A = this chain, B = another copy of it.
Amino acid sequence: MAESINRQILFASHPEGEPRPENFQYAETPVPEPGPGELLLRNKYLSLDPYMRGRMSTAKSYAKGFELGRPLGGGTVSEVVASNNSKFAPGDLVQAMGGWQDFALSSGEGLMKIDPTIAPVTTALGVLGMPGMTAYTGLASIGQPKPGETLVVAAAAGPVGSTVGQIAKIKGCRVVGIAAANKLGFLKDELGFDMALDRRSPSLKDELREACPNGIDVYFENVGGAVWDAVMPLLNDFARIPVCGLIAHYNDTQVPPGPDRLPQLMRMTLTKRLRIQGFIVWDFREQLPDFLRDVGAWLREGKIKYREDIVEGLEKAPEAFIGLLKGENFGKLIVKIAD
């Protein structure tokens, strides 16, 4: 590798509400040297994901927040360029947490080798990576879709939502997806969803009611906000709600005005015997082999499709991430850092 500088996007300041360009800072540092047992990774693709907004917050969450003045973290497809670790050789492609930068050091821990002959390497950041496994494990462990049931998912054209919907179709469900207007054709024509609704429609509540004549048995929650408001009255007895994201609320800066609907939700939980359960993908890490086997097979058989939205150039990452939180991407958002 001829490069001698490591371009980085640093976490410059905590955003209030929507992240803005000044929360990020471009920097150039020397390429680090791997120490004993370490690897030097060249990041080729960087995954941008909604969870990152949570790590930019000062609020307590399940994961440690990003550190100010350091490169933001994130999943990458990376190539080993130097190795002091016998398990990895230069040229190996790995899934890593390489972060928003050209180069990263790694102890080797947590790295997964990628076989580029199975599927395009970028799928390791999407349908065969964290988003796909989020969809798979949330359904397997909490959603438990059964034939004939109705499943609703929002952000339905994204890497999690699209996989959720397609797995539910495989399981025999009626699937209703909610997404931006320009993505509805994709959901119905490409992914085979039964119905696709415009998330910004002022009559979303009525449209959802019509799209779910038998109520809702599984609502895969990755959005919150107006979609959850529309879903709640339609939930059937014994509905399951895996909660994996609340992108509509990540930029919230204050508690919304009343009335206070918390007691109403608890009462509905009781009378409808709902199961509302939060999770993150690593809570179910023991399901990784099942996930790779099942989703890998469905992908090969053409039962699961995916779409990627690839942005060229590390320097575009902040802008692309800001757009992600507004739903401007179409498919799994990935930044191509290097060939």
Contact = CB atoms under 8 A, between A and B. Distances in A.
Given A243-B266, A259-B260, A260-B259, A274 B271 contact: no
Given A252-B263, A277-B277, A269 B257 contact: no
B266 A221 contact: yes
Given A274-B277, A277-B277, A243 B260 contact: no
A62 B238 CA distance: 11
A278 B266 CA distance: 8
Contacts of A228: 266
Contacts of A268: 278
Given A259-B255, A259-B257, A259-B258, A274 B267 contact: no
B266 A271 contact: no
A275 interface: yes
- How many copies of this chain? 2
A260 B232 CA distance: 15
A12 interface: no
Nearest to A228: B266
Contacts of A269: 243, 276-278
A265 B221 CA distance: 13
Given A243-B269, A260-B262, A271-B278, 17 more contacts: A59-B271, A221-B266, A224-B267, A249-B263, A255-B264, A257-B258, A257-B259, A258-B259, A261-B262, A262-B262, A269-B278, A273-B278, A273-B280, A273-B283, A274-B276, A275-B276, A277-B277
A5 B279 CA distance: 59
Contacts of A278: 268-275
A60 interface: yes
Contacts of A271: 54, 59-62, 278
14 contacts: A59-B271, A245-B270, A246-B263, A249-B263, A249-B266, A255-B259, A255-B261, A255-B263, A256-B263, A266-B276, A268-B278, A269-B276, A274-B278, A277-B277
Nearest to A244: B270
A160 to B, nearest CB: 13
A265 B267 CA distance: 14
Interface size class on chain A is 35 or more
Best-buried of A221, A268, A271 by chain B (most CB within 10 Å): A271
Nearest to A250: B267
A224 B269 CA distance: 12
Interface in A216-264: 221, 224-225, 228, 237-238, 243-246, 249, 252, 255-264
Best-buried of A272, A273, A274 by chain B (most CB within 10 Å): A273
A62 B277 contact: no
A33 B265 CA distance: 45
Contacts of A274: 276-278
